[in-house]
Every structure is written in structure tokens, then in C-alpha cells.
Amino acid sequence: MGRLKDLKGYLDGRRRLVADVESRLCALQSKYESFFAEVARAREVELEQLIGHATGDQALLPEWLTAELLAEQAAAQGELRRVPRTHFHTC
């Protein structure tokens, strides 16, 4: 009987350890997701500013650059439509 009691104690300790590790990982995941969202927002603002500068007054840009910008915009939009949405485990 003593051996089963020892095994139960060991397993209980492992369960607590796994729960503690999961809790810490979920906290780290939450921090990462917050940081990533912050960086993504900053990137979007900067990208919008760059797009505004590049396409604001297309009459000032060379014709070849305007054509390339429009082609790249169409290609990027097509790629975004094809990217599958992935789902991650959330805590």
C-alpha cells in the first residue's frame, strides 16, 4: 500500500507542476499577444503613412513607379485573400 501512496503523491506533484507551467506559459502567451498587437498597430500606422507619401499625389511620381505600385498592390491583395487563417490554442 505504501507504494501506491507514493505513486499518488508523485503524480499529484507532477499535476501541480504541469498546471504551474501551463499557467506561466499562458501568462507569457498573453504578454506576447499584447506586444505583437502593439507592434502590428504601429506597423500599420507607419505603413499607411508610407503609402500616403508614395501614392498621395501620383502626378508627382514617375509613370513607371505608379504602374508598379498599382501592380504590387493588386498582387498583395491577392496574396492576403489566399492566406489561410490559423488558429492557436488560447488560454
Residue 9: inside a domain? yes
pLDDT at 59: 77
pTM beyond 0.85, yes or no: no
Q: Is 50 part of any domain?
A: yes
Residue 91 domain flag: no
AA identity, residue 81: R
Q: How far apart are CA 83 and CA 81, in angstroms?
A: 6
* Tally of structural domains, the chain: 1
CB contact at 8 A, 91 and 29:
yes
Phi and psi, residue 59, nearest 5°: -65, -25
Would you say residue 69 lies in a domain?
A: yes
Domain membership of residue 61 (yes or no) is: yes
- 41 is in which domain, residue-wise? 2-82
Domain presence at residue 88: no
pLDDT tens sequence for the chain (91 residues): 579 999 999 999 999 999 999 999 999 999 999 999 999 999 999 998 888 877 777 778 888 988 898 899 899 998 888 877 665 566 6
Residue 58 lies in a domain: yes
**In-domain check, residue 87:** no
